[in-house]
């Protein structure tokens, strides 16, 4: 996440992510699945501004006491697609403000910190939804980070990560600042040492997939694959091995639900990518390219096919 502190607001650029590896180990007693995944952030960003307001409330650290009883200010979210982006171009649906993960993050942080101040959150979306790219999770992490600063809570990063895990399995990853292996249901994050930059092309086809539906069709790996060979290839910068080692256990069940998975795999295979697969629980699909020029070429060819929004990105 890229953070700018202004006089009256906090601005955060919130990245999408790609799952280079995703193994399902089994179902837990809490209903979630035990997973092992390797994720990288990419330079496809939502833009979030967090403007606090303290009317009727004392900011933490103020010298005067808060009113009794305290007045709880409103948390207002304005969420829309950025610029000239047309939501009819397969970007997915935006949830109502009250159900948006960004709102839920602000409410959770305020409740746990005992803050009565409010905020206006403006969120310009570029990351497609229901695509396995982590847009909602990234936005939620950004709200925790911005609210912690703007409301002057000053909690350490570790405490924010604890809240992040309550909001969603992918949210803690966005505090890692780079590539990471995530375990448990995704909340246990192990940052990787410096890895070489990857160039990729991402497609969001015209339909999304429900995560619960994909998991319902998934059988855990027996025996499970190990993420270690991919992590090693990333550290060495061995692009050919990275292409061979990427893996997503959820792709096959997703392909049983949506014909787009098979079509996108065929599209990428014709364009010389070192590897291609679905991200997360889909339907976003990506191909790893040899370099930036190759990525621009692949993106151009796929845009000409008219199969949905196409992005040339780098990790």
Domain with CATH 3.30.70.890 in the chain: 194-314
Phi-psi region of 142 (alpha: psi -120 to 50; beta: other; left: phi over 0): alpha
**Superfamily grouping for domain 194-314:** GHMP kinase, C-terminal domain (3.30.70.890)
Annotation marks residue 170 as catalytic: yes
Residue 56 has what pLDDT?
A: 55
CA distance 310 to 266: 16
Strands 2-5 and 310-314: unpaired
Report residue 146 as tokens: 């911005």
Other C-beta atoms lying within 10 Å of the C-beta of residue 159: 14
Select which of 125, 170, 222, 238 is catalytic: 170
Q: Which of 82, 176, 163 is nearest to 128 (CA)?
A: 82
Domain with CATH 3.30.230.10 in the chain: 2-190
Residue 207 has what pLDDT?
A: 87
**Mean per-residue pLDDT for 60-85?**
67
Strands 247-248 and 10-27: parallel
Residue 182 has what pLDDT?
A: 97
**Could you read off the pLDDT of 198-246 as tens digits, one per residue?**
999 999 999 888 888 999 899 998 899 999 999 999 999 999 999 999 9
Q: Is 159 helix (H, G, I), strand (E, B) or coil?
A: helix
- Which has the higher per-residue pLDDT, 292 or 62? 292
Instruction: Give percent of the chain with pLDDT exceeding 70.
Output: 92
Annotation marks residue 27 as catalytic: no
Select which of 6, 17, 154, 222 is catalytic: 17
Q: Which long-range CB contacts under 8 A does 166-169 form with residues at least 24 apart? A: 166/108, 167/101, 167/104, 167/105, 167/108, 167/137, 167/140, 168/101, 168/136, 168/137, 168/140, 169/32, 169/35, 169/137
Strands 118-125 and 75-81: parallel
Strands 180-184 and 33-53: antiparallel
Exposure letters 120-157 (e unless 16+ CB within 10 A, then b): bbbbbbbbbbbbbbbbbbbbbbbbbbbbbbbbbbeeee
Residue 208 has what pLDDT?
A: 85
Residue 86 has what pLDDT?
A: 58
With a cut of 80, say whether residue 292 has pLDDT above it.
Answer: yes
CATH for 2-190?
3.30.230.10
Residue 284 has what pLDDT?
A: 95
pLDDT band per the 50, 70, 90 thresholds, residue 84: low
pLDDT band per the 50, 70, 90 thresholds, residue 72: low
Using CA atoms of 273, 196, 125, 181 in order, give the dihedral in degrees to the nearest 10.
100
Residue 65 has what pLDDT?
A: 47
Report residue 7 as tokens: 């006089």
Average pLDDT, rounded, for the chain: 91
């Amino acid at each position: 996440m890229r953070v700018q502190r202004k006089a009256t607001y906090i601005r955060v650029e919130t990245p999408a992510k790609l799952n280079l590896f995703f193994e399902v180990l089994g179902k837990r007693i809490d209903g979630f699945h035990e997973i092992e995944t390797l994720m990288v952030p990419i330079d496809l960003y939502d833009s979030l501004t967090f403007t606090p307001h303290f009317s009727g409330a004392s900011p933490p650290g103020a010298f005067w006491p808060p009113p009794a009883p305290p007045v709880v200010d409103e948390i207002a979210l304005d969420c829309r697609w950025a610029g000239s982006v047309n939501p009819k171009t397969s970007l997915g649906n935006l949830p109502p403000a009250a159900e948006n993960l960004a709102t839920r993050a602000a409410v959770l942080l305020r409740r746990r910190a005992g803050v009565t101040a409010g905020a206006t959150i403006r969120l310009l979306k570029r990351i497609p939804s229901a695509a396995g790219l982590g847009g909602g999770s990234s936005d939620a992490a950004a709200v925790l980070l911005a609210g912690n600063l703007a409301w002057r809570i000053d909690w350490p990063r570790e405490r924010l990560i604890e809240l992040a895990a309550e909001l969603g399995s992918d949210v803690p990853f966005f505090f890692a600042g780079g590539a990471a292996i995530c375990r448990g249901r995704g909340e246990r994050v192990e940052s990787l040492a410096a890895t070489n930059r990857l160039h990729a092309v991402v497609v969001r086809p015209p339909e999304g997939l429900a995560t619960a539906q994909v998991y319902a069709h998934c059988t855990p790996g027996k025996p499970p694959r190990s993420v270690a060979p991919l992590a090693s290839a990333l550290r060495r910068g061995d692009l050919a091995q990275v292409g061979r080692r990427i893996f997503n256990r959820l792709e096959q069940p997703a392909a049983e639900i949506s014909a787009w998975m098979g079509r996108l795999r065929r599209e990428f295979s014709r364009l010389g990518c070192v590897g291609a697969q679905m991200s997360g629980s889909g339907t976003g699909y990506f191909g790893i390219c040899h370099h930036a020029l190759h990525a621009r070429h692949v993106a151009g060819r796929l845009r000409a096919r008219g199969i949905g929004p196409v992005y040339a990105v780098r990790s």
